[in-house]
Structure 1
């Protein structure tokens, strides 16, 4: 376990990638307890918060689970929550890759694209172009969710916390995609982010305009640290939500084909009408 100082990716991404690989190759077995945050920080030579950011990615992908008072464990059945990843990896094998995402924080998307991006760096995938569009709620304006649990009221501090998480994930994606063009590995790349004024109730992935994955965000009550204290909030949480898969077929009148077409039409309409560009710094 070590950080590659020559790797342009942030340390927390490297940590997440190494642990993910160990889990998927069964070097860390289902149900196995991970080393403590302090021990991982010592092994990697980084701050504990850096380790925590890496673990948050894996937690968002459904690969690990925290048990209060016991630690962090590999999920007993890691295969089901990561069902999206093989489809994204296959989508990146196409000459022209397009990926449209609408959702909340982008955590799952961030984790799902890391493997194909790594394969492009290694020369194992060679797309000619990559275009990623990310549509997220505007956390700078009041909204119904996330909200305070005690009175269901909007709270700027809660939104600011969520905004930081969103920016962390989206910046990781935009920087990784831009790097591929800078290295000359992909001829043309773009990764754009837009926000809109609305409550995030579902997540939607559209791959190469051919496949769509749709899932609802369950609203969960949980405690989060805000300004140095634990706060109870209601939060849309999609870490373990079931995704419904639809793909185009020769039968253009089939429900799956119509879903993909309508999902793309909805996304394009939102993007070109109420979506507003953001600058990720």
Structure 2
């Protein structure tokens, strides 16, 4: 588990891949604690920030979970997020790729897209057309979740636009949504500019409903659906650990439905899911320019 000096990928990507492989091959068992950040920093000869970036990516994939004051642990059910990633990668083997997503921020979708996009860049996958539609809540406006536990009646403030702006749970949620949709848009549309796809398009629309579930529709033939658990969570708000009521997207158990499912009502559910998505997209969705606002990280 050492870094390859001849590997052109950034060290954090190599560390992410090494730890992911160790988790999926059960070298780190479900529930087992990973080495501390200090131990990983010494092992790989990198900065603490590099290790933190790798761990953050693994946490976004749903492979690990951080427990404040205790460390980082392998999730008990690591197969669940990988199932979605496998199906998304399979969707990219077709000539025309369509993905419709409705959820809270798009973080998990961004993570699931990384590998197929890397394979397109390396020539292993060659879709001709890629079209993504992303439906997320308008976090510039009042939302029921997230909410401060100390002050449930707190009204959301404007999104963070600079380091001096006061961050709230709502502005933090807006920043996460922006970061995810910007990353997806940049990665996908770049494929067209590089000549790796004839068409690569991402459309984002926002609406005023606080999501209670996430939905993925792949190539109009397969759907993945999961409810968002709502629970107390401690997150950094303005760099201060803050207790909030939050949606836990990584803990959402996904149920799959397919047009080819002859064992139940999969095809009927898929059609209803598509109708629901189109109804929100067409009647409540407002076009959202992800580049209109910059995240705090962009401005720095």
TM-score by length of 2: 0.81
Q: Structure 1 CA distance, aligned partners of 2:117 and 2:221?
A: 20
Deviation at residue 228 of structure 1 after TM alignment: 3.2
Q: Report what 1:162 is aligned to.
A: 173
1:222/1:247 Cα in 2 relative to 1: closer, same or farther (>3 Å)? same
Gap change, CA 1:40 and 1:114, over 3 Å in 2: same
Instruction: Determine the structure 2 residue equivalent to 1:273.
Output: 283
**Aligned-pair CA distance for 1:276:** 1.5
CA distance in 2, matches of 1:92, 1:192: 18
| Counterparts of residues 86-101 of structure 1 (less than 5 Å) | 86-101=86-101
Partners of 2:171 and 2:256 in 1: how far apart? 32
C-alpha contact (below 8 Å) 2:89/2:113 kept by paired residues: yes
Q: Any unmatched runs of 5+ in structure 1?
A: none
1:4 Cα deviation from its structure 2 partner? 9.4
Q: 1:236 aligns with which of 233, 240, 247?
A: 247
Q: Is 1:256 matched up with 2:266? A: yes
Q: Which residue of 1 aligns with 2:164?
A: none
Change (3 A) 1:162 1:250: closer
- The total of aligned residue pairs comes to 276
Equivalent position SS for 1:245: strand
Give the CA deviation at 1:119: 1.4
Match of 2:250, SS state, is coil
Say which SS state the counterpart of residue 239 (structure 1) adopts.
Answer: helix
**Alpha-carbon contact 2:224-2:254 (below 8 Å) kept:** yes
Matched with 2:211 is 200
Give the secondary-structure state (helix, strand or coil) at the position aligned to 1:159.
Answer: helix
Cα gap change, 1:167/1:39 in structure 2, threshold over 3 Å: closer, same or farther? farther
Report the alpha carbon displacement of residue 63 of structure 1 after superposing the two structures with TM.
Answer: 0.5
- 1:122 is aligned to 122
Query: In the alignment, which residue of structure 1 is the partner of 2:198?
Result: 187
The match for 1:74 is: 74
Cα deviations across residues 248-267 of structure 1 (Å, max 9, x unaligned)?
A: 1387xx62112111111221
Is residue 151 of structure 2 the alignment partner of residue 140 of structure 1? no
Give the drift of 1:106: 1.2
Instruction: State the distance in 2 between where 1:235 and 1:279 align.
Output: 25
Separation (CA, whole Å) in 2 of partners of 1:250 and 1:64:
32
Determine the C-alpha separation between the residues in 2 that align with 1:72 and 1:122.
32
Contact 1:57 1:107 in 2 (8 A): no
The unaligned stretches of length 5 or more in structure 2 are 158-167, 292-300
Q: Deviations over 1:228-248 (max 9, x none)?
A: 322211011121211111111
Shift of 1:112: 1.1
SS in 2 for 1:83: helix
- Give me the whole-angstrom Cα distance separating, in 2, the residues matched to 1:152 and 1:238: 21
In structure 2, the partner of 1:212 is 223
CA offset digits 1:74-111 (Å, max 9, x no partner): 33442233221111111111110000100012111111
Displacement after TM superposition at 1:127 (Å): 0.8
- Point out the more displaced range, 265-274 or 36-45: 36-45
Aligned in 2, Cα 1:67/1:229: closer, same or farther, shift over 3 Å?
A: closer
Separation (CA, whole Å) in 1 of partners of 2:271 and 2:70 = 46
